[in-house]
Amino acid sequence: MKTLIDGIKNLCIGMVTVGKHLFRRNVTVQYPTERWEMPERSRGIVVLLSDQETGELNCTVCMLCMRACPASAITIEYEQGEKGKRTLKDFIVDNTICCFCGLCEETCNFAAIKMATMYEFATEDKESLIWHMDKLQEMGRDVPYEKPVRKKPAAAKPAPKPEVKADGEKPAEPQPAEAASTGNTAADPAIANEPEQKPDNRKPDQPAEDQT
Amino acid sequence: MSESRGLHTKEFTLNVGPHHPSTHGVCRFVLKMEGEVITHVTPVIGYLHRALEKICENRTYEQIIPVTDRFEYCTAMSCNMAFSLATEKLAGIEVPERAEYLRVIMLELNRISSHLIWLGTTSLDLGALTPFLYAFREREYILDLFEMTCGQRLTFNYIRPAGVSRDIPPEFIPKCREFIDMFNDKIDDYERVLTENPIFIARNKNIGILPPDVAIAYAVSGPALRASGVKFDLRRDDPYSIYDRFDFDIPTRENGDCYDRYLIRIQEMRESTKIVRQAIEQIPEGEIRGKFNKMNFKPPAGEVYCRVENSRGELGIYLQAADKEKKPLRVKMRGGSFNQLQVMPVICVGHKIADLVAIMASMDIIMPDVDR
């Protein structure tokens, strides 16, 4: 009998706590009609950023994002022009394997790629998750971003850039590395322009180590 | 063969899982039952094996950090931390003071959020829906703090070799303080609903007793070990980062049953708020990332083992590097969940099948940490 009374008493203590919460403000957000405001740094889908005045992409085809991507989700196709100047042909982001780590955005010295706060990109088929340059540019039109300090994006000029986000990285050294990788990947533009070149991502590193 | 009231029973094999709500992942238990009493337990693992250790061997050190997020989804910060510590130890990298404080704040908040997941799912397994909703509501505050800092709610990619990826935004400290001030009252709420609850006590007290010698023999660590009365916490016994600067207690209990493991975790959440409060008081200004070559980091040859205390016990990373290579030769993880799963056959025998759910829940096993 005593245990019964004790049990009821303790249940009541619990129910008082529950009762208090019953009259508190609702925390539920009714999703399709209401939306949670995403924090500015939230990492959603990858977009390509364009210059706000000219409307052209900020990308300078330095390939750093492609090399930084741990999931090999980025494929860059480019044309090798005269004097080693590269023009972007296509920029493919495979959202099916993107792991939303944000390393591409951190590596970029030109504010060309960003993880926007958008998160609704569900589709019905797998193919429409592979986004090409025009779609990525379209998605990135209204995404606000901080411009890099040097405004005009000069292509592949190995000058150490001032830091964009001031997060203590040292962007000075990737430039010579990029020059080195240019020698490898851009030697044969025909190969570099093939759409499926994911294994090439890690070519500049030691290929033998992949098998170990 | 046993006999009661004229009914004959014989040993019966029962599969629990792999898809069972109480296994928190995909784990299978092959049980041998005598009526409703468990006589033998065989955990079957491997359903969540993703070859993450092998994947690490094909990534550069910076690229491994997002992979470590996937080792254990509840406390990804400590996985980032363990790998960063190992890399730093390997190459002898200095970490700026502010980054150390940021790391501790994030690690402790992550510990709280992990314990909140545990509290919510455990109470749900035992039939109490209310604490689940409360715990996940408070966890949302922490996830918001993480999201405003590093942009992601679970796969943080925040703690990096030589520091952290980003500085906290200016609104972080006020929001964090607001959370800490509020959170102790919320823990009182959980305790009012659960600690004295007769059903909760009946389901947990004297269930799944883990004696200290068995716990040590099976290398159980974390709250499960401390609930058995062994005062071992890496934050105190093998201090990494700047944990030696903070004033906090290591709670221990004597019985080592499910109820003690619950109390230990509740107490640990309180201790974690203490650490976070001290850290946000003391945090200095300054750099957040030391010298680290992101694209071409090539450590000297060597092997290291670094361990941190996460919410499931000792999380260790063994890292072996070849000389002047961008990618590690071998990465091995040691998570607390594996050992806690291994001790299940010992402590489940003799209990009813419903107690298996309670024991599994109280051990706080998550399967990605077991398989990898």
Best of B95, B126, B166, B287 to disrupt the A interface (most A CBs within 10 Å) is B166
Q: What is the pLDDT of residue B326?
A: 84
Q: What is the pLDDT of residue B112?
A: 92
Nearest to B327 by CA among B305, B371, B295, B291: B295
- Verify whether the Cβ–Cβ distance B197 to A10 is below 8 Å: yes
Query: Per-domain residue ranges for chain B?
Result: 49-371
Nearest to B9 by CA among B43, B41, B32: B32
Are B357 and B22 within 8 A, CB to CB? yes
CB contacts, 8 Å: B327 with chain A: 205-206, 209
Closest-CA distance of chain B to residue A10, Å: 6
**Which of B 114-143 lie inside 8 A of A, CB atoms?**
130, 134, 137, 140
Q: What is the mean pLDDT of chain A?
A: 71
Sign of CA dihedral B346, B228, B240, B141: positive
A29 part of contact set with chain B, CB < 8 Å = no
- Verify whether the Cβ–Cβ distance B63 to A6 is below 8 Å: no
Amino acid in position A130 = I
Sign of CA dihedral B251, B240, B77, B51: negative
Architecture of the domain whose range is B49-371: Orthogonal Bundle (1.10)
* Among candidates B60, B152, B197 on the partner chain, residue whose Cβ is nearest the Cβ of A100: B152
Comparing alpha-carbon positions, the chain B residue that sits nearest to A203 is: B58
- Verify whether the Cβ–Cβ distance A41 to B130 is below 8 Å: no
pLDDT in tens, A71-106: 888 888 888 877 778 888 888 888 888 888 888 888
Backbone angles phi, psi at B295, to 5 degrees: -85, -30
- Verify whether the Cβ–Cβ distance B295 to A202 is below 8 Å: no
Are B253 and A134 within 8 A, CB to CB? no
Q: What is the pLDDT of residue B4?
A: 58
Which stretches within chain A are classed as H helix?
2-22, 64-68, 103-107, 133-139, 174-185, 189-192
Complex prediction ipTM: 0.77
Rounded-to-integer distance, Cα B249 and Cα B117, Å: 22
Q: What is the pLDDT of residue B49?
A: 87
* A–B interface: beta-carbon pairs under 8 A: 117
Rounded-to-integer distance, Cα B212 and Cα B343, Å: 12
* Among candidates A13, A27, A100 on the partner chain, residue whose Cβ is nearest the Cβ of B192: A13
Rounded-to-integer distance, Cα B35 and Cα B52, Å: 41
Are B295 and B96 within 8 A, CB to CB? no
* Among candidates B157, B197, B198 on the partner chain, residue whose Cβ is nearest the Cβ of A101: B157
Asked whether residue A43 carries a pLDDT value surpassing 80, the answer given is yes
B171 part of contact set with chain A, CB < 8 Å = no
Mean pLDDT by 10 residues, chain B (372 residues): 63 82 79 87 87 88 88 87 89 88 90 91 85 87 89 87 87 90 88 83 87 90 89 87 88 89 90 90 86 81 89 89 85 88 88 87 85 82
A143 part of contact set with chain B, CB < 8 Å = no
